[in-house]
Structure 1
Amino acid sequence: MNQHSPCAGGFGDLGEIDFCAPLQQLFDEHPPLLAKMAEFKNMVQAFEANDSYTNWNEAVEQLHEKLEIFVAELEPHADREEDILFEMMVKYIGRESGPIAVMEHEHNTAKLHLKYFFEKVASTKSTNETLTREKALEVFQHLKIVYATLTDHFMKEEQVLFPMAEKMLSDEEKEELAVKYKEMSN
């Protein structure tokens, strides 16, 4: 079950944790998101390694298409965490320091770099700018930061935050979590 997550290796045995349905849902959303992140990371690496590539606008556009799909899946996941789970946990552990502060900082870092990427794509399209290799590599940096931030972030959630929430939240709060997640889906 949980021990098969790509983020679980080497950080303890998650097989002993039986997550409630809403936490399991968040956990189960990680592998498809990680797969999409691996796709855009691999594309960036392939473009960076190809010294003979010349159509950098096309490269950025291909990544843009991947990122639109990724963000469409990431946003509801992040909203469930930020708007519901984090708020429930804040009552117990606060938000000024500790796990929630770290999680929110990492969410903000990823969102900021996604915003920079999408703004650069929009600017390039609106001005018909022809991207050089150097400019494209600058744009790629934002995606590399998103990848590094979120892969580490998911591991922290799986190893620390979700187990902490499972132990900390009452059965009533877990039921409330389930109800609110369902409401968000409708």
Structure 2
Amino acid sequence: MEHICGLAGNASIELCRPLRTLKEEHKPLREQMEFLYNLSVSIEEEKDSEKMKEQLENLRDGIVQFVSQLDPHSEKEEGVLFPMVAKYTGKDVGPIAVMEYEHDQAKSNLRTFLEKTSQLEAEVTINELIQMTQLYNEAFHILQGHFMKEEEILFPMAEQLLSNDEKQSLDIQINSK
């Protein structure tokens, strides 16, 4: 039973290099997310639909760039870390199921935003523009909580669960992606 209790995580644990790498990748992603969120909020506060459309195009450009940096990070987690941890915790329930669900939800919101903003119609309404920004806002909130869970629970848990050989394999695989 002690082993299960130890799965709660401990953010003060010193992380091995590959887990530190994943954690450090969150910082620039967070900075981009916050910048884009502030832009999204300013769009929602704008009253002029033409200015909103112009700002929405800027938001879209920023999200395209953000996704191009988020995807490789997510692939390291989904393709390498999550399967390694799932060997100990299971994949269908528990922390890995939550992590994968949050990845899917955030990606779905970002993908839908990009699809809806790919060709804005001339007659798009202010409400439709706001609905588009809310897709990003939802992804922002999901990822904000997700990063915190990884840093405070998943990464410390992985540090405790994975063997030295697994950590070495994780390091090689993460640094090759």
Assess same fold via TM > 0.5: yes
Gaps of 5+ in 1: 1-11
Instruction: Report deviation, 1:129.
Output: 3.4
1:133 aligned partner: 126
Question: Following TM superposition, where does structure 1 have runs of at least 4 consecutive aligned residues deviating by more than 2 angstroms?
Answer: 50-57, 128-132
Q: Counterparts of 1:48-63 in structure 2 under 5 Å? A: 48-52=44-48, 54-63=50-59
Q: Counterparts of 1:139-154 in structure 2 under 5 Å? A: 139-154=132-147
Verify the 8 A CA contact 1:36 1:70 in the aligned structure 2: yes
Aligned residues: CA RMSD: 1.6
Instruction: Report deviation, 1:152.
Output: 0.3
Query: How many Å separate the matches in 2 of 1:44 and 1:130?
Result: 20
Q: Which whole-Å deviations, capped at 9, do the CAs of 1:33-76 have from their partners, x for residues lacking one?
A: 11111011101111212224533321221001110111111001
1:83 partner amino acid:
G
Verify the 8 A CA contact 2:102 2:143 in the aligned structure 1: yes
Query: How many Å separate the matches in 2 of 1:179 and 1:23?
Result: 12
SS of structure 2 residue aligned to 1:167? helix
2:166 aligned partner: 173
SS of structure 2 residue aligned to 1:122? coil
1:164 partner amino acid:
M
2:110 aligned partner: 114
Q: Counterparts of 1:6-155 in structure 2 under 5 Å? A: 14=11, 16-52=12-48, 54-124=50-120, 128-155=121-148
Query: How many Å separate the matches in 1 of 2:175 and 2:25?
Result: 15
Verify the 8 A CA contact 1:106 1:149 in the aligned structure 2: yes
Query: How many Å separate the matches in 1 of 2:17 and 2:65?
Result: 25
Query: How many Å separate the matches in 2 of 1:86 and 1:13?
Result: 18
Q: TM-score, normalised by structure 2?
A: 0.90
Query: How many Å separate the matches in 1 of 2:176 and 2:38?
Result: 36
Q: TM-score, normalised by structure 1?
A: 0.86
Gaps of 5+ in 2: 1-8
Q: Which has the higher contact order (CA 8 A, sep 6+)?
A: 2
Verify the 8 A CA contact 2:43 2:56 in the aligned structure 1: no
